[in-house]
Structure 1
Amino acid sequence: MSRPPPSPIFTLRGAGGPLNTLHFSCRGGDTPLLFSGSGKGAVHIWNLNTRRPEKIVEGHSGSSVIWVSTLQSTDTLISQGRDMQVCLWDLSEGRSEVVDSVWTGSVGFCQCSLLETSPGTFLLAFAGQQTEEIKIIELPCKISVCTLVPDAKLGMVMCIKLWQPVSGPGPLLLAGYEDGSLLLWDVSQRSKLSHAKAHPEPVMCLTWDTDRLKGVSGSSEKKLASWMMDTHKNLQLQDCVTLVNPGVSQLCIREDGKLLASAGWDHRVRVFGWKKLRPLAVLQYHTDMVLSVAFCDHQDPRQRLLAAGSKDQRISLWSLYNEGASAEPLSSGRI
C-alpha cells in the first residue's frame, strides 16, 4: 500500500524575494549550510542546525541573483546576478567581500556552470553577450578558453552544464536552446559533437548524470525528456515522462543517482526514481511557482535533505531518506 506524501521537516523564511537558486555545502565541517539567491539581490547563507541565516550578502545592486555555488569550501562563494556580473566572494574569518568579478554581458536567465579541472583551478561557462554564444573562462586567472556559437539559428541559450567525462580528454558542455534543441560541445576542440531536438518549446532546464551518461530536460510543456550519450558521443532521445501540469523550472539528481527532483510551475515538487524515471512522490507545500531544487551532499545519507525554493519567498526542506526509495513508491498521487 502506498504511503502518503511527506510534509516538509522545516521551512526557512525571510529571504525577502523569490528563491531563484539553491546550493548546499555540507562537507566543510559539522555545520550544514544552504546558500540561496533571491530575486531582490541577496544571497542568504542558512545554518541548517539553527535554521537561521548565518550571513546575508548583497553584491548585485539589487538585481536578481540567479545562481550560486562555492569553490572547494564555503570560504569562497560565487554568485551570478541579472546585473550581468558574476561575483567571487571571500567569506573566510567572518568576511563578506567581493574579491573579483566577471562581466557576462548576458541579460538572460541562463545559469553559469562550474567545473574544477585541477586543485584551485576552475572553468566557468556562461551565456555571452550575443544571443546564442557560450563563453568559457578559467578561474581564478580569467583567461578566455573559448566561445561556442552554433552554426544554425537556435535562439537564446537557456541552460548549460559543463562536465568532465571519465574517459577521454577535455571537458564537454551540454546546452539547451530557445528552439528546444540540445547541443553537445567538445570544449577542447571548440566543436559541436551532437544535436538533438528534445522539446518543441525552449529548454528551461537540464541536468546530467556523468556516471550513467544520461540526462533529462524540462520546458514549459507537460513533459520531461530524457536522453543519453552513446559511445560515439551522439545524443539519443530516450523515454519521456508526461506531467499533469506544464512548466518545469529546474531539475536535480541526488548524488547517489537514485532520485530526480523537479521544480514545477504548478507549485509542486516531483520526485522520480532516476534509473527508470518512475514517479515516486508529489510534494505539496508552496503557494506559488517552485523555482529551484537542490539535494544535500551530506556524507550521512539520512541527512541528505531536498530543498525547494519558491516564488512565495519560502524554502521547504524535505527528508526523503529511504533504503527502498528506488523500488517503492512514496505517493500514489498523479505526477
Structure 2
Amino acid sequence: MDPIHVLRGHLGDVQSLSYLSEDHLYAGDSRGDLRLWDLASCRTEYTARLHDANSGILHLACLPDYGILLSQGRDGCVKLWAAGRTCALDRPTPLQEIRTGSFNFCRCAVWAPALDSPGGTSGPQALDSRPAAAAAAVGPAHSLVSGLAGDPRDLLVACAGHDPADVNVWRPAEAPSISTRLRLSEGINSGAETNHGMCMALAFLSPSPAPSHCETGMGTSESSRSDLEPLDEQDISTCGGGDVDSGGNKGAASDPRFIIAGYEDGVVALWDLRKPGRPLGSLRAHTEPVMCLDVRARVQGRSKGKGGAALQAGRENDDATELYDLVSGSADDKISCCEVRPGAPQPVTLTRQVQLREGGTSDVRIRRDGKLFACGCWDGRVRLFSVRRREPLAVLKYHRSHVTAVAFSLETNQLASASRDGTIALWSVYSSTSAATTALRQRESSSVSAGGV
C-alpha cells in the first residue's frame, strides 16, 4: 500500500501530529516549528515558532472546541495557544505557560471535558464562530478565557515532574500550583520493585460509553458487527458522549479519575487520582523503557461469553468495573496488549505480546472506533493491528527513518505518520468493513512468521 499523499517542507524531524479537521493537520518538528497543513492542496497554510530550536516540539494537542492548541517542548514547558478563526494562532505569545521542570521525552496527556451544548462543534467552522472579543480579552499569561464553546479552565494536563519518577497533574488556570502529584509515599510499597525510573508515557482513562441499543452479541453469541467495522456518527452519539481527550476519546463529562503511566523499567501502572500515594496496580509489560501507550474504553456489548455479561452487570453498580484496552510500545521488540479493569484485584493484565522483526516503537494510537491501532516503529514502518484479536493487519512502508508519530483523523479515519526523514505520509486505512475483514482473513490464512511482523 502506498500513501495517498506525502507532505514535505519541514527542515527538522517531524515529532508530533494533531488533526484540526479532516482538511487541516498540525505538525511540530525538532526545530520548534509548527506547520498547519492544508490537506486538500498538500501545502503549508501557516507556520510559527512555538519552542526554542534547541528543544523542539515534542507533542501537540489540538482542541478546536476550546480554541486552544497545546504544545510541549523539551524545554520543560507546556504552552497553550489561542487558535484563531483562520486556523492560525491569534497571538504571538501563549495564553498560558506551565513550567513542568521535566526535560525528558515523556509526552504530556491532556483531558478536555466535552461540550454539553448542542452547538458545540470542532474544526474550522467552529473557529469561525469564535467571538472576536474573546481573543482580545485575553490578559496576561496567567489568564485563560472561555474558548469557542468550552472553557479552557476545565482542562487538565499530566506531565512528568521535576523528579522524573513523579507525575504531576496541572489545571492550567491554576498553574503554577500542581493539582495532583502521583508519587509513591514513604514507607508504602518500599523496595527495589517500586524503583521504576523515569515516567516515559502517560494517558488519562476516559469513561466508557453507556450501554444503549447499539449493544449486541451479549452472552455466547458473536456481535453482529465485525470487530473492524467503523462506527458511524449516529452510532457514536447513541453509544454515549462526554469527555474528549487529545486522542478523541469520549466519555462522561467529569474530571478524570484514573491515569496510566509507563516507566523506564518497562512497567505500566494504573493510578487513581484520588489516591495519589500508590498505584492501584502495575504490570511489567516490557523489558526496555515504555516509549508510548494509548488506552481506550471498550465499547460495551462486544465481549463474548460470560465475561461480557459480568462486565455489563457490574457496570450498573460501580463505574470502576469498566474495561479498557491498553496498547504500549517500547524500546524492545514487542507490542504489549493489555486489559485494564480499575475495579479488579489485578487491574492491569497482559493479554498478548506481538513480536516485531526489529526493536523500537515511538508512538501508538488506537482508532476512535476502537477497532484497530497503529504503531510507528523505529525501522520506518507503520504497523496496523486489530484491537480485539491483537493480530497484525498490515505493514505500511514509505519512510526512510524512524516513524516518530501517528494520528487518526476523527471522521474519515485517515492515518497520518511522521518521521525523522522530515516527511508526513497520509494513508487511507480500512475505512470499510469489507477491506478490514479481508485483510485480517488473509493474514490468518498465510499466518505471520515466527520472526515477527
Question: Which residue number in structure 1 is paired with residue 180 of structure 2?
Answer: 146
Q: Is the 8 A contact 1:20 1:310 kept in 2?
A: yes
Partner in structure 1 of residue 20 of structure 2:
25
Q: Following the alignment from structure 2 to structure 1, what is the Cα–Cα distance between the partners of residues 358 and 68?
A: 38
- Structure with higher Rg: it is 2
Alpha-carbon distance between aligned partners in 1 of 2:416 and 2:30, rounded to the nearest angstrom? 17
Q: Match for residue 47 of structure 2?
A: 56
Give yes or no for contact 2:64–2:83 (8 Å, CA) kept in 1.
no
Match of 1:78 in 2: 70
Counterpart of 1:40, as a letter, is R
Alignment match of 1:199 (pick from 286, 295, 317): 286
Q: Which residue of 2 aligns with 1:103?
A: 99
Aligned to 1:329: 439
Partner residue in 2 for 1:160? 202
Q: How does the TM-score come out when normalised to structure 2?
A: 0.67
Residue identity over aligned pairs, in percent, reads: 32
What one-letter code is carried by the residue in structure 2 that aligns with 1:91?
A
What displacement does 1:91 show?
2.3
Q: Please point out which of 366, 391, 397 is paired with 1:253.
A: 366
1:134 aligns with 2:167: yes
Which residue in 2 is equivalent to 1:16?
A: 11
Task: Confirm whether residue 225 of structure 1 aligns to residue 336 of structure 2.
Answer: yes
Which of 302, 317, 333 in structure 1 is aligned with 2:426? Answer: 317
Letter in 1 for 2:421: D
- Give how far 1:289 is off: 0.7
Higher mean C-alpha deviation, range 153-162 or range 86-95: 86-95
Q: Which of 390, 394, 403 is the equivalent residue of 1:277?
A: 390
What CA distance in whole angstroms lies between the structure 1 residues aligned with 2:182 and 2:417? 32
Structure 2, unpaired ranges of 5+: 115-149, 209-251, 299-322
Letter in 2 for 1:163: L
The one-character-per-residue Cα deviations of 1:40-64 (angstroms, maximum 9, x if unpaired) are 1111111112211221121212121
Distance 1:170 1:254 in 2: 20
* Shift in CA distance, 325/252, structure 1 to aligned 2, threshold 3 Å: farther
Q: Partner residue of 2:213?
A: none
Q: Counterparts of 2:295 and 2:357 in 1: how far apart (Å)?
A: 24
- Which residue of structure 2 aligns with residue 41 of structure 1? 32
Counterpart residue identity of residue 54, structure 1: E
* Structure 1 residue identity aligned to 2:296: D
Q: Which amino acid aligns with 2:155?
A: F
* Partner-residue secondary structure (3-state), 2:51: coil
Is the Cα–Cα contact under 8 Å of residues 156 and 172 in structure 2 kept in the other structure?
Answer: yes
- Tell me, what secondary structure is at the counterpart of 1:140? helix
| Cα distance in 2 between the residues matched to 1:123 and 1:74 | 13
**Gapped runs of 5+ residues in structure 1?**
1-5
Residues 1:74 and 1:32: Cα distance change in structure 2 (over 3 Å): farther
Is contact 1:117–1:123 with CA below 8 Å preserved after alignment?
Answer: no
Secondary structure at the residue paired with 1:56?
strand
Structure 1 residues 257-294: Cα deviation after superposition (integer angstroms, max 9, x where no partner) = 11110001111111111111221111110111111111
CA deviations over 1:282-326 (Å, ceiling 9, x no partner): 11101111111111112xxxx321000000000000001232244
Name 1:179's counterpart in structure 2: 265
Q: Aligned partner of 1:220: which letter?
A: A
CA distance in 2, matches of 1:90, 1:147: 27
User: Would the aligned equivalents of 2:372 and 2:387 in 1 still touch at CA under 8 Å?
Assistant: yes
Query: Do 2:98 and 2:172's aligned partners in 1 also have CA atoms closer than 8 Å?
Result: no
Give 1:137 deviation, angstroms.
1.0
Structure 1 residues 187 and 274, CA, compared in 2 at 3 Å: closer, same or farther?
A: same
Shift, 1:87, TM fit: 1.1
2: distance between equivalents of 1:288 and 1:203?
20
| Pair 77,177 (structure 1): closer, same or farther in 2 beyond 3 Å | same
Q: Could you say which residue in structure 1 is the equivalent of 2:117? A: none
User: For 2:406, what is the secondary structure of its paired residue?
Assistant: strand
Higher mean alpha-carbon deviation, 158-167 vs 202-211, is at 158-167
Q: Secondary structure at the match of 1:155?
A: coil
Q: Rate the CA distance shift 1:46–1:145 in 2: closer, same or farther, 3 A.
A: same
Q: Name the structure 2 match of 1:209.
A: 296
1:163-188 deviation line (CA, Å, top 9, x unaligned):
23348984210000001111100012
CA contact (8 A) 1:261 1:272 kept: yes
More helix by share: 2
Local SS of the residue matching 2:178: strand
SS of the counterpart of 2:107? coil
Q: Higher strand fraction: Structure 1 or Structure 2? A: 1
Partner Cα distance (1:68, 1:240) in 2: 29
TM-score (norm 1): 0.90
